[in-house]
Amino acid sequence: MNGKLWAGRFNTGQDNLMEQFSESISYDKRLYKYDILGSIAHVKMLAKQSIILQEEAEKIIDGLRKIERQIEAGEFEFNPQDEDIHMAIERALINLIGKVGGKLHTARSRNDQIALDERLFLRDISIEIIDRLNGLLKNLALFAKEHIDVIIPGFTHMQHAQPILFSHYIMAFFEKFKRDKERFLDTIKRIDVMPLGAGALAGTIWPIDRRYTASLLNFTQISKNSIDAVSDRDFMIEFLNNCAIFSMHASRLAEDFIIYSSSEFSFIELPDEFSTGSSIMPQKKNPDSLELIRGKTGRVYGNLFTLLTVMKGLPLSYNRDMQEDKEALFDTIDNCLMIIDILSKLIPKIKLNIDEIEKSLEKGFITATDLADYLAFKGYAFRDAHKIVGSIVAYAITKNKTLKELTLEEYKQFADQIEEDVYDYIDYRRSVDKRKSFGGTSRANVLEQIEEALKSFDEKSSHVDLCPRCSYPIKIYKNPSLTVDCIIEKDNKVLLINRKNYPFGFALPGGFVNYGESVEQAVIREVKEETSLDIVEPKLFGVYSDPERDPRSHTVSVVFYAKASGTPKASDDAEDLGFFDLDNLPEHIVFDHLKILKDYYEFRKKI
């Protein structure tokens, strides 16, 4: 007999080989926390919509929380016969609380369930990666500041090019990793879409409230197409692409440090803690940590292409091929987090070999470009100056001399305009400090960049600023935003809108005050935009400023009450609207509008 929860249509059990081949619980058990979180929100919604009884919902939620505690304590037995984390938790729930546990999956499919789990998981992981990248960025900026006066050869084609500040070189990687952080931040917008309610692919006949579920799970958006919701892994591919670009930057840094730590360069010495020795050659100190970063980048690339290849030929909508997304995802995350942590710890412990660096600065005619600029300042066309300096370099090579070792008489063989001041131009220290163009390598430029970077890492911003309710990365402004709300009463009923945007639920009509607008003008405009009603002479009711009143940010609301004319029609932020008895208000009222209405009810009794 087939013991699967989906076994009703089958006459025989599944072959053991097929079970081994198809199970994913050995790795997707990592999603248990998010699967349970999504299930609890789903059950609360089912009860709110009277699809299941409240006492049934409470029993299911208690069971789910008990299972979560068992998993966290290592007491839960994962069985490959359950296939995946969804079935494992549901089977355990039914065993724990009986048949009522089978109601958990009402109005839900594993197709929208796994899409939800992955989005919840990636939202949290993205924030963790951003937070750790901030630590790496801060260490890079501090390391650059510590070595602000060190000059090294800059390279193009791995040949000596021009002198640069070592700190300028380090801050180049700061910029690369900063862009990586910004990419992860931007991708969260596309991860933050709630797919639950899409069902297998066509939606559901049950009267579910997706906005309510989204608000419980702190999603700011809801998927608009059920087929797309269950077949989409774009958000994951984009996340993996971000990881691949980050890994590429980390690999380039690792490659440079491997080269600079070699005996041929000896610019830097790597810390013992992140190096290894040889089993046969006792003198060796190998840069294994950096080599592994370089090597693991190949794995990260491979995981990205795994998912691209899996998805490239899939017909809509869900297919079992998509199960293969998780191992690639988890492996990428684990490796990227490790790479960030390794670099964050390694970089501050690197030592510079100043003597070797200065010896290298004397090689390669590194100030030849400065000599060409010198001739251009003397009146030569730059292309002619370039040709003359090329001849001077060729001559110096035959004489086994550096540019500063050539005599003035030797220089004048190539250009009469060369004077004694030429030696100032070919001094690499002066060369660096003359590069004052924005973004150039002069000390003032680089120090300004470093200070600007470090300023962003004060005590409060040592991690990503997060929404206090949903952990969504947001920019925090020190001043609260000003909003207005309006109480419109008719026949002892109050007008409420059902919001189409986050936070989802019922609310008084209102919104943000525009720059240059009075609060009276703002409330008239907002009521018109959301309800199509006209109000005149709104009267001040009160001001509400609880910092927690709005889950998006700190707002202060100036609340009015007014009479309205016209036919109410929902628009703008309003999905729909209606008049409600003050004694029989909707269950899910957002912001602090329930408190406002209760205060208004008390106010009314006095007038």
Q: Which helix (H) or strand (E) holds 269?
A: strand 268-269
- Tell me if 176 is assigned to some domain: yes
pLDDT of residue 26: 87
pLDDT > 90: percent of the chain? 80
pLDDT of residue 551: 87
- Tell me if 432 is assigned to some domain: no
Same domain, 187 and 334: yes
Tell me the Cα Rg of the chain: 33
- pLDDT tens-digit profile of 569-590? 998 888 899 999 988 899 889 9
Same domain, 161 and 219: yes
From residue 274, alpha-carbon distances to 142, 269, 285, 290 in Å are: 20, 11, 10, 8
> For residue 472, what pLDDT band results from cuts at 50, 70 and 90?
low
pLDDT of residue 275: 86
pLDDT of residue 5: 62
For 563, which DSSP code?
-
Q: Which helix (H) or strand (E) holds 531?
A: helix 519-531
> For residue 463, what pLDDT band results from cuts at 50, 70 and 90?
very low
Which residues have C-beta within 8 Å of that of residue 18, sequence separation ≥ 6?
none
- Which one-letter amino acid corresponds to residue 377? F
**Residue 207 clears pLDDT 50, i.e. is over it:** yes
Find the CATH number of the domain harbouring 417. Answer: 1.10.40.30
> For residue 457, what pLDDT band results from cuts at 50, 70 and 90?
confident
pLDDT of residue 454: 92
Nearest CA among 378, 429, 436 for reference residue 404: 429
- Tell me if 452 is assigned to some domain: no
Find the CATH number of the domain harbouring 13. Answer: 1.10.275.10
Is the preceding omega at residue 503 within 30 degrees of 0, hence cis? yes
What tokens were used for 145? Answer: 């500041």
Same domain, 84 and 186: no
**Residue 6 clears pLDDT 60, i.e. is over it:** no
- pLDDT tens-digit profile of 261-303? 999 999 999 999 988 888 899 888 899 999 999 999 999 999 9
Match 């200065």 to its residue by tokens. Answer: 358
- Tell me if 440 is assigned to some domain: no
Same domain, 247 and 348: yes
Looking at residues 135-143, what average pLDDT do you find? 96
Nearest CA among 233, 167, 228 for reference residue 454: 167
- pLDDT tens-digit profile of 51-77? 999 999 999 999 999 999 999 999 999
pLDDT > 70: percent of the chain? 95
Nearest CA among 496, 466, 470, 489 for reference residue 593: 496
pLDDT of residue 572: 83
The residue among 298, 332, 358 that closes a domain is 358
Same domain, 375 and 327: no
Nearest CA among 245, 132, 129, 119 for reference residue 190: 119
**Residue 134 clears pLDDT 90, i.e. is over it:** yes
- Tell me if 468 is assigned to some domain: no
pLDDT of residue 587: 85
| Inter-residue long-range contacts of 431-434, CB under 8 Å, 24+ positions, other chains counted | 431/162, 431/163, 431/367, 431/370, 432/151, 432/163, 432/164, 432/165, 434/370
- pLDDT tens-digit profile of 351-391? 999 999 999 999 989 999 999 999 999 999 999 999 999 99
Same domain, 244 and 349: yes
- Tell me if 398 is assigned to some domain: yes
Same domain, 210 and 303: yes
- Separation of alpha carbons 316 and 322, rounded Å: 12
Same domain, 97 and 131: no
Beta-strand ranges (E) seen in 500-602 are 506-507, 510-512, 534-535, 539-544, 555-562, 564-565, 574-581
The residue among 402, 426, 450 that closes a domain is 426
Same domain, 595 and 533: yes
Buried b (16+ CB within 10 A) or exposed e, 132-164: bbbbbbbbbbbbbbebeebbbbbbeeeebebbb
The residue among 88, 106, 124 that closes a domain is 106
- Separation of alpha carbons 89 and 68, rounded Å: 9
Active site residues: 157, 278
Find the CATH number of the domain harbouring 222. Answer: 1.20.200.10
Same domain, 210 and 245: yes
Domain that holds residue 88: 7-106
**Dihedral sign (CA 82, 86, 90, 96):** positive
pLDDT of residue 478: 62
Same domain, 98 and 230: no
pLDDT of residue 109: 96
Strand partners, 511: 484
pLDDT of residue 515: 84
What tokens were used for 516? Answer: 């240059």
Nearest CA among 592, 487, 590 for reference residue 540: 487
Residue 514 DSSP SS3: coil
Best-predicted range by mean pLDDT among 62-76, 243-257, 544-558?
Answer: 243-257
Find the CATH number of the domain harbouring 571. Answer: 3.90.79.10
pLDDT of residue 154: 95
What tokens were used for 353? Answer: 């070999």
- pLDDT tens-digit profile of 73-90? 999 999 888 889 999 999
Nearest CA among 373, 392, 393 for reference residue 383: 373
Which residues have C-beta within 8 Å of that of residue 522, sequence separation ≥ 6?
484, 511, 512, 513, 514
pLDDT of residue 9: 73
**Residue 462 clears pLDDT 50, i.e. is over it:** no
- Tell me if 474 is assigned to some domain: no
Looking at residues 551-578, what average pLDDT do you find? 92
**Residue 466 clears pLDDT 60, i.e. is over it:** no
Same domain, 314 and 242: yes
pLDDT of residue 460: 46
User: Mean pLDDT score of the chain, rounded to an integer?
Assistant: 92
- Separation of alpha carbons 297 and 99, rounded Å: 48
pLDDT of residue 539: 95
Please answer whether residues 219 and 194 qualify as being in contact, where contact means their C-beta atoms are separated by less than 8 angstroms: yes
**Residue 459 clears pLDDT 50, i.e. is over it:** no
pLDDT of residue 13: 73
Nearest CA among 150, 154, 180 for reference residue 166: 150
Nearest CA among 222, 44, 29, 212 for reference residue 119: 222
Render 39-61 in DSSP notation, one character per residue: HHHHHHHHHHTTSS-HHHHHHHH
- Tell me if 19 is assigned to some domain: yes
pLDDT of residue 470: 46
What are the φ and ψ backbone dihedral angles of 411, each rounded to 5 degrees? -60, -40
Report the number of distinct structural domains present in the chain.
4
- What global pTM score does this model have? 0.81
